[in-house]
Amino acid sequence: GEGPFPTEMTQEEAESKGLEEYGVVTGRRRRIGHFDMELAKESCRINGATQIALTCVDRLFDCARVQDYSELSAETKAFIDNIETETGVPVTIISTGPDLKDTIDLRKELL
């Protein structure tokens, strides 16, 4: 729970976005940050990623429980496109909520 976190947001900002999370075991409040594109690029490069699963998109954009890519807003699609462009890796799974059914699976479209 310590160490550098370049994209960390204040607790007040996290609260205003409804992004409060607590550790299951410790109950300690988790640190929250914005998407870190530089870390994503480095992680994809180091690990040889071939696909990206993007979770918690509903916390960044108004797309809770969307299950079809075509129903995502232009802003959400632009964010996903930017991740793909910057990392060179396709985003194939998009989570838009807490339930398993709140998932957009684009892997079948790659075949």
Strands (E) in the chain, as ranges, are 52-54, 91-95, 103-105
Q: Furthest-apart CA pair in the chain: how many Å?
A: 44
Please state the φ and ψ torsions of residue 22, each to the nearest 5 degrees.
-130, 145
pLDDT at 69 exceeding the cut of 90:
yes
**Averaged over 81-92, what is the pLDDT?**
98
What sign does the dihedral 10-15-16-18 (CA atoms) show? positive
The CATH class that applies to domain 36-110 reads: alpha beta
Q: What is the pLDDT of residues 22-53, one digit of tens each?
A: 999 999 999 999 999 999 999 999 999 999 99
How is the chain split into domains, by residue range? 1-34, 36-110
pTM of the model: 0.86
For residues 105, 56, 86, 16, the Cα torsion angle rounded to the nearest 10 degrees is: 150
Q: What is the pLDDT of residue 17?
A: 85
Q: What is the pLDDT of residue 110?
A: 67
- Please, what is the average pLDDT of the chain? 94
pLDDT at 73 exceeding the cut of 90:
yes
pLDDT at 1 exceeding the cut of 80:
no
Residue type, 71: E
H/E element, 77: helix 74-87
- Calculate the alpha carbon distances from 75 to 17, 56, 62, 81 in Å: 17, 15, 10, 10
